Amino acid sequence: MNDAVTRPLEAKRASPSAAAAPPQEDVLLSAKNLSVRFGGVLAVNNVSFDVRRGEVFTLIGPNGAGKTTVFNLISRIYNPTSGSIDYEGVPLTRQPPHRIAGLGIARTFQNIELFEHATVLHNLLIGRHTHRRTQFWSDIFFTRGVRAAEIEAREKVERVIDLLDLQHYRDTTVAGLPYGVRKVVELGRALCTEPRLLLLDEPSSGLNVEETEDMAFWIQDIQQELGVTVLMVEHDMTLVSKVSDRVLAMNQGEVLAMGTPQQVQAHPGVIEAYLGAAEDVATLRREAAR
């Protein structure tokens, strides 16, 4: 295990500046008045938020709240019906989906998307290939530039393998790996693109309690050691309060509350939205009372 895993895991505490508006240069991504309509369903209704550089920002909400739709707007899988998203001051909604990785945005999926019959190393190298700048003819003749790019790719990938403690699985085919390890490999594949913004879609889904704790450590390492900004959709409220700097709670397409994990979990509207999912309410109350 990585040294980081042995550190005590503290729930994040409210920082005095959590609620204050940040200077514009500290904002990495800014969503303004986003709405999405699917036929008669208003999946996202006038949602605005800023993601600050270096923070872990988490979207929570009951099923159907609109979280995945917001994620898919940022990945450019959907177009907003109205509203805008700026990323590093550039209008993201004008970018074609295939440009997203090149802009420094990477994502993981709720249902893991890896090359099942390739090894862990090859999956990570494929992730790294969004950085390749070499050309057709230089590739064919394996020029010095191509060799240098391959060496650089390999070094970056090895760093990700070390960070996520994947050495043991380097040459294993993904199809033969336990689900929890595949989740970490998918995280690694996203990191190999060297993102400035990492989108994590339910990183704890399908993981047991211990694997979820490990995932919390990886997310903290990614934020603290690599300085990557994380935007995450997550249901597990224990993980949410451990790693999030700020949380946005949604319900029925709208913003319910935004603030530190403690502020949002104690919000009466959030507790009401979760009623019916008794286990979630109990976790919310427990985490808010910490």
Ligand X SMILES: Nc1ncnc2c1ncn2[C@@H]1O[C@H](COP(=O)(O)OP(=O)(O)OP(=O)(O)O)[C@@H](O)[C@H]1O
Distance of closest approach, residue 70 Cβ to ligand X, in angstroms: 7
From the number of C-beta atoms within 10 Å of its C-beta (0-12, 13-18, 19+), residue 281 rates as: middle
Q: Which amino acid is at 3?
A: D
Distance of closest approach, residue 66 Cβ to ligand X, in angstroms: 4
Residues of this chain that interact with ligand X (CB under 6 A) are 38, 41, 43, 61, 63-69
Nearer to ligand X, 65 or 257 (CB): 65
Reading the block at residue 97, the tokens are 């989906």
Distance of closest approach, residue 275 Cβ to ligand X, in angstroms: 16
Reading the block at residue 32, the tokens are 């303004």
Nearer to ligand X, 47 or 153 (CB): 47
What is the layout of strands, in order, in the sheet containing 56-60?
A: 105-107, 197-201, 229-233, 56-60, 246-251, 254-259
Distance of closest approach, residue 86 Cβ to ligand X, in angstroms: 21
Distance of closest approach, residue 251 Cβ to ligand X, in angstroms: 9
What DSSP element (H or E) covers 32? strand 27-38
CB atoms within 10 A of CB 115: 13
Q: Which residues pair with 50 in a beta bridge?
A: 30
- Of 33, 24, 21, 34, the closest CA to residue 89 belongs to 24
Q: Which amino acid is at 34?
A: L
Nearer to ligand X, 35 or 69 (CB): 69
Nearer to ligand X, 47 or 125 (CB): 47
Instruction: State how beta strands 197-201 and 105-107 pair.
Output: parallel
Measured CA to CA, the distance from residue 97 to residue 101 in angstroms comes to 8
Nearer to ligand X, 43 or 166 (CB): 43
Distance of closest approach, residue 69 Cβ to ligand X, in angstroms: 3
Nearer to ligand X, 131 or 235 (CB): 235
